[in-house]
Chains A and B, each alone.
Chain A
Amino acid sequence: MSQSLATTPPAPADAPAYNPRNYLNAEAGIASWLLTRDHKRIAVMYLVVTTLSFALGGFYAMLIRIELLTPGPTIMSAMSYNRMFTLHGVVMIFLFMIPAIPGVFGNFFLPLMLGARDVAFPRLNLLSLYLYAIGAAIAVYGMIHGGADTGWTFYTPYSTTTVTKVVPILLGAFVLGFSSILTGLNFIVTTHTLRAPGMSWMRMPLFVWSIYATSVIQILATPVLGITLLLVAFEHAFGWGIFDPARGGDPILFQHLFWFYSHPAVYIMVLPAMAVMSEVIQASARKNIFGYKAVAFSSLGIAFVGFFTWGHHLFTSGQSTLDAGIFGVLSMFVGIFTAIKVFNWTATLYEGAVKFTTWFAYFCGFLFFLVFGGMTGIALATVSLDIHWQDTYFVVAHFHFIMVGSVIMAWLAALHYWWPKMFGRLYPEGWGLVSAVLIILGFNATFIPQFLLGNYGMPRRYYSYPERFWPLNVASTAGASLLAFGFTIILVYLAISLRWGKVAGPNPWGSRGFEWDTLSPPPTENFLENPVYTRGPHDYTEAPEGAEVTHAT
């Protein structure tokens, strides 16, 4: 596998075939896309909208980092800064991290991995995309028209008394919640009812297990967020006394309701990332996962225990000492499930045939962020350490590692690993590796200084700060610029490869994941014949037939 950086070599005569009759060109015209029920086309549209959201959230992030380049005012007022970090959080969480992996890769690959023609409810699937678009539109309208200054956590009574317009953004998030619920419902029913012959539960790819666990959380937790956000909107608009003590409400009640959703929401974001990585590690090592059952059931374990740890966000709120202890211990148990996965992924390399690719580089980055993000999470759960770190940059760095780091690594790994399957063409491997290194370095350079800032005692959401925090903030901003540069490179080469990339063929990686059994890009009906499964996924015990693998060196 040798490719020079910028050029794509001309396709040799015996190049692998590009499937000429595929889901992308099956129908033409805008209407055929907007009215499609094909899960693959819906996934591609999700890819476009979530990428746009990511760019918007990243733009806000850069403005925040530039503002923090100096201790005093730099480029904006305190009010604009407060709006900026609110919008950054809302866009990244509700418009990117929650829908991105399930919406794009879940939609595209869940049916392919189960041997199904589509998801169980194709029309509902399209509706959830439209709900996403409507929710996003309402939220963006709210941003242009005022923009809330509450932080994405909307803590009361600040959020119910602020003069900024929080209601549109709350309603936007409310509508997005329905999109999330419908997607989850669709995946659960698909997994239960549309498995092809031979696809028993214990043969399901680990990607499906993790997405399934995610869907369960989405269905159970999202309604609580919806209700809570509506109550905040009502209190803000009509002066109801629910959370504001000056009107007879209870501000801590809000925190309980909010984190009852928002702690499990961490797993709504991280479980899909783990889903991707379970596939990527097996294809990289060309070996079956070390402990299939352990990895599969730990996803369900995370989904279950994740519902009983929300109180670890309230250690400084005046919560009772006993509550703090119980929530602390339960948070330790949720960490164990992640530890199980980390060890099993690493052990998968044992006796494998490992190859270093761009997506394997992202796997390594993912493992690093997960281990450090997870261990700092455990440290926070010891309660007394949290007292110092609560609401400081340490917490900011912690959740950027565990949530954002793992989601971005998985999102990029998935994009590179499945790019040939989705679009039938290869990305340039050299540029892929360069940008992977840039992004992993940039991410560390951005957030390791923030861990130290938290230790040093800098609270989050600070527009200005005492001068002793200056050098670490400069380092963090420098890292963020590196990140932005890396993402730009990826955007450019992926866009170029769509048209000019080398044709991939059905299975350029020699992966034994079930989704690779079909052509690239897949036909609208997914499989030419109805698949029947006689063995589990990623079984590499036999050599491939014929000269199927084409770019062997």
Chain B
Amino acid sequence: MNELMRKLLFLPEQGSAYATEVDRLHFFVITVTMVSAVAVAVVALAFFVKYKRRSERQTTPHVEPKAIHEVLFIAVPLTFFLLWFAIGFPLFVKLQTPPKDAMDVYVQGKKWMWKFAYPGGPSGVDVLRVPAGRPVRLLITSRDVIHSFYVPDFRLKQDAVPGRYSQTWFTASAPGRHQVLCAEYCGIGHSAMLAEIIAMEPAQYDAWLAETRRSTVATAQDSPEDRVDPRTSLSEQGRLLSGEYGCFKCHTVDGTRHIGPTWLDLYRKAEPLQDGKSVVADEAYLTESMMDPAAKIVAGYQNVMPTYQGRVPGPEIAAIVEFIRSLRTDAVRPEPSKGPVYVPVPGYDPTSAR
């Protein structure tokens, strides 16, 4: 039944369990739509046949609806609409909430290519290799205009917005290839901004990753503007870049207080703000603080940091954020927020089999 409906509606293959779930809602909605449309048409046709005009002087009675008619006209469709929403919205929440054990990949859209970077290296262009059966969290941004990361087989889409990170996740159910398309119009090369996700057997993937990291030949296809060796791990790149941008003039990495808040254990910490609110120092806040430092000042600190808007390209922001994430005293810590439940796995060892 699932396969028949999928083919009838020209839906692409279901590359993840989530895709199958969403399709089920799709089939439900389309079936009810068809049935109700046919019902309206049949009623209209029946009225047309029964009440055909017989003479041009024909009169008709004045008909007023009873209240029950209008109530039914509202209640019946509303019940279905809200039922669909009750099924559809939790699915969306699921898509917005990556599981805790997801592995991270940084994705950057750029006219007109997709760049992928694993926290421990390597990085690459237009091909993303992932292990089948393991959840993968994507942290998506853009270097220039808005793009949108679209994987039809996973029923997944997330805009890549310059100056901020957004996240989504998927678990490929089996090894295979899945096309990535850019869905937000971005210029001449928009329709050529294609990439591919290759889901591999976990063992094969681990071997591939270890091999790539070991090899001294640069597999990175980064553009020449990269200032740091793209073969090193992302957090190592972030450390070098932070030095280069002068971050350490104000921020320490050992927990001592300086002009700005320390970076040690900063990631996912609930920071009290000047205006009495508080904010969780997640990827979004860290990025925002680089781009627009004055927006949310941590209580007890001065608004002295210059903006790095336009000075730090997207992948370098990713590297610095990754470096901040790596700075932690211990791995186990109390969960500070009810936001997307995610605690990174420190020292995540991709070579260890699960």
Contacts and interface: CB of A to CB of B under 8 A. Distances in A.
A342 B25 CA distance: 24
Interface stretch (B4-12, B268-276, B343-351): B4-12
B72 to A, nearest CB: 8
A467 interface: no
Contacts of B292: 248
A82 B190 CA distance: 10
Contacts of B182: 459
B6 to A, nearest CB: 9
A433 interface: no
Interface residues of A, number: 96
B155 A462 contact: no
Interface in A317-358: 317-318, 321, 324-325, 328-329, 332-333, 335-336, 339-340, 342-344, 346-347, 349-356
B161 A347 contact: no
Contacts of A35: none
Interface string A374-404: 0110110111110110111000000000000
Interface stretch (A130-138, A282-290, A418-426, A517-525): A282-290
A516 B33 CA distance: 38
A93 B167 CA distance: 34
B220 interface: no
Contacts of A325: 89, 92
Contacts of A82: 185, 187-188, 190
Interface in B54-78: 54-63, 65, 69-70, 73-74, 77-78
Nearest to A286: B60
B73 A316 contact: no
A375 B33 contact: yes
Given A383-B89, A391-B150, A540 B185 contact: no
Contacts of B191: 78, 459, 461-465
Contact of B184 (A155, A285, A347, A539): A155
- Residue among A150, A161, A455 with the highest chain B CB neighbour number at 10 A: A455
Contact of A328 (B89, B96, B187): B89
A161 B184 CA distance: 16
Interface string A49-84: 000000000000000000000000000001100100
Given A335-B77, A384-B89, A457 B12 contact: yes
A12 interface: no
B295 to A, nearest CB: 10
A457 B181 contact: yes
A354 B92 contact: no
B186 interface: yes
A162 interface: yes
A245 B89 contact: no
A263 B168 CA distance: 26
Given A379-B29, A464-B192, A552-B55, A352 B9 contact: no
Contacts of A472: 10
Contacts of A372: 33, 37
A336 B92 contact: no
Contacts of A155: 145-146, 184-185
Contacts of A350: 47, 51, 63
A316 B81 contact: no
A150 B184 CA distance: 11
Interface stretch (A220-228, A230-238, A542-550): A542-550
Interface in A420-476: 452-453, 455-457, 459-466, 472
A307 to B, nearest CB: 19
B159 interface: yes
Interface string A228-258: 0000000000000000011110011000000
B310 interface: yes
A375 to B, nearest CB: 4
A348 B243 CA distance: 75
Contact of A346 (B29, B40, B189, B309): B40
B57 A549 contact: yes
Contacts of B164: 245, 318
A351 B146 contact: no
A351 B46 CA distance: 11
A291 B92 contact: no
Given A247-B310, A353-B58, A367-B40, A340 B148 contact: no
B239 interface: no
A24 B331 CA distance: 84
Nearest to A541: B62
A316 B145 contact: no
B44 A349 contact: yes
A158 interface: yes
For A78, A328, A371, A391, the residue with the greatest tally of chain B CB atoms inside 10 Å of its CB is A391
Nearest to A535: B62
Contacts of B183: 316, 390-392, 459-460
Contact of A371 (B40, B56, B87, B157): B40
A358 to B, nearest CB: 15
Contacts of B157: 316, 387-388, 390-391
Given A318-B164, A379-B33, 5 more contacts: A325-B89, A343-B73, A385-B26, A391-B150, A543-B58
Rank and list the top 8 A-B pairs by shortest CB-CB distance, nearest first: A457-B152, A382-B88, A245-B163, A349-B47, A552-B56, A318-B166, A384-B91, A462-B191
Interface of B: 9-12, 22, 25-26, 29-30, 33, 36-37, 40-41, 43-44, 47-48, 51-63, 65, 69-70, 73-74, 77-78, 81-82, 84-85, 87-89, 91-93, 95-96, 144-146, 148, 150, 152-153, 155-159, 161-164, 166, 179, 181-192, 194, 291-292, 307, 309-310
Interface of A: 78-79, 82, 149-151, 155, 157-158, 161-162, 245-248, 251-252, 285-288, 290-291, 294, 315-318, 321, 324-325, 328-329, 332-333, 335-336, 339-340, 342-344, 346-347, 349-356, 364, 367-368, 371-372, 375-376, 378-379, 381-385, 387-388, 390-392, 452-453, 455-457, 459-466, 472, 510, 539-544, 549, 551-553
20 contacts: A78-B191, A245-B164, A286-B58, A291-B73, A294-B65, A294-B73, A318-B159, A328-B85, A332-B82, A335-B77, A339-B74, A342-B40, A349-B47, A353-B52, A354-B48, A354-B52, A376-B33, A391-B183, A457-B12, A461-B190
